[in-house]
Amino acid sequence: MLLAAAGVWLFDAGWPDLVIAGGLLLMFLRSSARVLRMAWRSYRDEVK
């Protein structure tokens, strides 16, 4: 977050915030996909 703030100040533009937000979004999506995969496997194993 501090790097994004420094980038906004240094470049006087908002795109560093968007880059950091995009990275955080990718991390969240990967994490949530991993949790959903694990939950689905667990659900399938219980149903059998």
Length of the chain: 48
| pLDDT confidence of residue 48 | 72
For 1-44, the pLDDT digits (tens) are 788 889 999 999 999 999 999 999 999 999 999 999 999 999 99
pTM of the model: 0.74
Q: Which one-letter amino acid corresponds to residue 22?
A: G
d(CA 32, CA 36): 6
Nearby residues of 43 by Cβ (< 8 Å), 6 or more positions away:
none
Confidence of residue 47 (pLDDT cuts 50, 70, 90): confident
Q: What is the pLDDT of residue 13?
A: 94
**Residue 6 domain boundaries:** 2-47
- The pLDDT value recorded for residue 39 is 97
Number of structural domains (the chain) is 1
Cβ(1)–Cβ(16) under 8 Å?
no
